[in-house]
Chain A
Amino acid sequence: MSSPTESVDPTEDAAGDDAAAGDDGREIPGWTPYREWFRDRWSEGGATAWATALGHLLVGGVLFALVAGFDLGTLPIGGSLVWFVYLSVTVAALYVATAPPAEPYVAWLEDRWMESDVDKLLIVLGHVVVVFFVFAVALGLPFNGLMGALSSVLFFTAVYAMMVLALNLHWGYAGVFNIGIAGFMAVGVYAMAILSSPTEAGAASVPGLGLPLPIGILGGVLAAAIVGLVAALPALRLRADYFAIVTVAFSEIIRLTLNSRTLQEFTIAGVTTGTGGATGITMPGNPVRLLFYDGFGAGAEPALLGSVLFPLFRGLRIELIPPGSSWLGVVPLPAFTLDLAVQPSVISNWAYVVVLSAFVALFYVLLVRTGNSPFGRVLKAIREDEVVAKSLGKDTNRFKIVAFMFGCGLMGLGGILWQGSQGFTNPGAFRPIITFYIWVALIIGGAGSNTGSVLGGALFAGALWEGPVYVRRVVTNYVDFGSTPSTFPGAVAPFVEGEVLPFLAFLLDNVSALRFILVGVILVALMQRRPEGLLGHRKEEAAAISLTRPGGGGGGGSTTADGDAVADGGREADGDGGAR
């Protein structure tokens, strides 16, 4: 048990509920002796400190309930999450109270962060989960809502992770500036849709070729890779920035072609198919659904896993305190039921998230093996200085083309798993903004690091994509802004007159659009403070084996007397040592 630090006012931490008046600026009668009493109890540590903190929290809880207008006799909180929240907050507050809050936590975090890549991933995902848990609690969402929100954020984490991993091969390794990702995704998705959609036309869509889904997916991946080749052959002769212009133009050409009426429906060799034009294209059903239902239609019945899991989770309520119980037969206790019921749609969403995670793992393994090989080494050399790679006998064009095709194929697969999960897509899903989001995620995670790519995907999906929307929901849940101005002048005019609320309401109302600005601000800040991203600058040696002295007789100790010093070499090695 640690003693309180001099800087942190322990009462604030221990009993946040009833310490509302404890502002240093004002003199409150009786406050100072109370505070000293509390500090004395506190510094004794151990059971006394815990008892003091717990007592404060209980008193705080009762005060809170009174202020909130609850009738203490019939606390109406059984079955909802409020109880659960209060308990979690209590535990969290006690943890914070019993140790000086930030320091051990940050230290623990830093230790774990240096431990391994798995720990890094767990830390980031853990924080995303905790934050979304808090959101769900603040919104009063039931468990089902929390699980729904988490499956959504994990879905985006997984798809962004896959796309960023593929982009990292292009930019992080080979230094190929591809800003046409959305186009290669579109090729994969559309090729899969055309190959595998049913042959008889539905009411709203063009017929496909009716091939089995695995062939469709393989075809989509190959199509994306081949289109990558077509783009790469002329374009890789160009310097990085010109290549970027070619790729973004290429991606727009693909999108506009898919959007055009000309290819909406056509017949080749007696087979009618098409892109569906601007109305979009239906896709073969998501096979994960077949784990739970006996078909794809709206009227499908639960089957297999569905027939087992749906009833199990639909009624998952644990009565912790049955109605009518009391403490020692004297004090009546409120009924409390832990409501863990989850709807079928959320269960199948989670199943898809699990499938996506497996694909993220596949992408990761493939790209780590690619990076940690002589092939990856040549790619890195091309990124650093292509002339050197050439002068050492490397046919850099071959490497660039193979790497580009491989990455494009993976982008096609990522697109299929992302857009192809929905049963329907249209060209609007492949606008260049998607490409830029993937780039932002890569920059956050750190170009050149596969682990960083996954982390970047998670942080982008959690903090920049899904997060702001939930912040808006939470704030509007608690604050009533009255009428929300619909125009920017309408929001600014009252702001000038000192009325802040309409402006805030306007900002929150447009939070989806303002994410662009947030992304921009984050990028600017990142470029200023950490241009290499989270894990961008660490040593991930491109070799199939660990590059240490065989036999352990390390060259690290030997020194030569040539007098040439390594520029801050020691610091660099220390900083990266733990990250490997």
Chain B
Amino acid sequence: MSADDSVAADATDGDAADAEPSEATAQGARDAADHPLVVENLRKTFGGITAVDDASFSVAEGSLTGLIGPNGAGKSTTFNCITGVHEPTSGRVTFHGTDITGMATHEIAQQGLVRTFQIARELPEMTVLENMMLAPKGQVGERLTNALVPGLRDRVVEQEEELLERAWQQLEFFEIDHLAEEYAGNLSGGQRKLLEMARALMTDPEVVLLDEPLAGVNPTLEEKLLDRIHELRERGNTFLLVEHDMDVIMNNCEHVIVMHQGSVLAEGTPEQVTSDERVVEAYLGGDV
């Protein structure tokens, strides 16, 4: 891994808005080895409102990191800045040492950083299998010529067969294989959440950003989803989990980041965070 080189190269680009470039770079270089996702001094303003205010954190490889905070703390905006939906006003996001700040959403996804949505966004008039088969990277049939020209199409068909097998395995893993040929729009809310996560995993991501995957999910299904997440983590995936439910975060994450009013309030193990005065105040006392 040439993380240090690329970080150094990026730093010379001179991010004008970066307040303390040298310190941030040092932090980035240290984290890049075992922290694939690093967010430094991230700032996002909408008009006069500062949604994210100088947030810095990193996500360790193979971890299940929780991102919590009261409503309006800037969690979703942070997500959107990381995944390229919004362009940050200033600050830097690096993924494996590569500066991905301001990259297009699809480019970031192709690097292996994939998100799910707070409100499940299935593709309603496509079947569950179509949803799944859409996701994988590097499909040769996504070039029109390969899809049309008889000789080239053989390769497409071959790859489709492999992808189909993978899609079935993934659906079985999430126990929604019985719905494979159903329109995604006919699924229940919880099934959509499962589909969304299964679909994100079809892209072979390194890091998955889960935006409230448990919102609106019944307790049985919640248990199942968490089991899946733990199992996938053991297989090497990294998760950053935004969640409102403190219990879920505290019982499942080994590292917790607390955001409040746009910046990182506290960071650490669940025990450290819960014993932090400021966190308790932000959640219980302060202006939520």
A interface residues with partner B (beta carbon < 8 Å)? 366, 369-370, 373-378, 380-381, 383-385, 387-396, 399, 402-403, 406, 448, 537, 539, 541-545, 547-550, 555-560, 562-569, 572-573
CA distance A399 to B142 in the complex (A): 8
Whether B123 lies near A380 (C-beta < 8 A) is yes
A-binding segment of B18-26, B184-192, B274-282? B184-192
Which of B123, B182, B221 lies at the interface centre, i.e. has the most chain A CB atoms within 10 A of its CB? Answer: B123
* A402 with B161, Cβ < 8 A, contacts A374-B156, A385-B121 known: no
B135 at the interface (CB under 8 A from A): yes
Whether A573 lies near B157 (C-beta < 8 A) is no
CA distance A393 to B182 in the complex (A): 24
* A562 with B190, Cβ < 8 A, contacts A374-B147, A544-B157, A547-B133 known: yes
Whether B179 lies near A377 (C-beta < 8 A) is no
B71 at the interface (CB under 8 A from A): no
The minimal Cβ–Cβ distance linking B105 to chain A, given in whole angstroms, is 4
The minimal Cβ–Cβ distance linking A465 to chain B, given in whole angstroms, is 30
CA distance A569 to B141 in the complex (A): 30
Q: Which one of A393, A547, A564, A573 lies within 8 Å of B129 (CB-CB)?
A: A547
Q: Give A565's nearest chain B residue, CB to CB.
A: B188
Q: Give B124's nearest chain A residue, CB to CB.
A: A384
Whether A564 lies near B190 (C-beta < 8 A) is yes
Q: Which of B25-53 contact A (CB under 8 A)?
A: none
Q: Which one of A393, A560, A568 lies within 8 Å of B114 (CB-CB)?
A: A393
The minimal Cβ–Cβ distance linking B202 to chain A, given in whole angstroms, is 8
Q: Give B115's nearest chain A residue, CB to CB.
A: A391
Q: Mark B39-71, 1 if CB is under 8 A from A, else 0.
A: 000000000000000000000000000000000
Q: Which of B164-182 contact A (CB under 8 A)?
A: 164-165, 168, 171-172, 175-182
* A381 with B220, Cβ < 8 A, contacts A387-B85, A545-B160, A568-B186 known: no
Chain A residues with CB under 8 A of B141: 373-375, 544
Chain B residues with CB under 8 A of A388: 117, 121, 123
Q: Which one of A370, A381, A395, A448 lies within 8 Å of B123 (CB-CB)?
A: A381
Chain B residues with CB under 8 A of A366: 148
B153 at the interface (CB under 8 A from A): yes
Chain B residues with CB under 8 A of A558: 177-178
B143 at the interface (CB under 8 A from A): yes
Chain B residues with CB under 8 A of A549: 168, 180
Q: Which one of A402, A448, A572 lies within 8 Å of B183 (CB-CB)?
A: A572
Q: Which one of B85, B115, B142 lies within 8 Å of A375 (CB-CB)?
A: B142
Chain B interface bracket (under 10, 10 to 19, 20 to 34, 35 or more): 35 or more
Chain A residues with CB under 8 A of B124: 384
CA distance A562 to B177 in the complex (A): 13
Chain A residues with CB under 8 A of B181: 539, 547-548, 556, 573
Chain A residues with CB under 8 A of B271: none
The minimal Cβ–Cβ distance linking A260 to chain B, given in whole angstroms, is 35
* A384 with B126, Cβ < 8 A, contacts A555-B180, A566-B182, A568-B186 known: yes
B139 at the interface (CB under 8 A from A): yes
Chain A residues with CB under 8 A of B135: 392-393
Chain A residues with CB under 8 A of B75: none
Q: Give the 6 A-B CB pairs with smallest separation, nearest first.
A: A393-B109, A374-B141, A373-B147, A555-B177, A384-B123, A390-B105
Whether A393 lies near B147 (C-beta < 8 A) is no
Chain A residues with CB under 8 A of B267: none
Since A387-B85, A389-B134 are in contact, a sample of 14 more A-B pairs with Cβ atoms closer than 8 Å, ordered by chain A residue number, is A370-B148, A373-B153, A391-B114, A393-B203, A394-B106, A403-B144, A406-B144, A539-B181, A541-B129, A547-B133, A558-B178, A562-B221, A565-B188, A568-B186
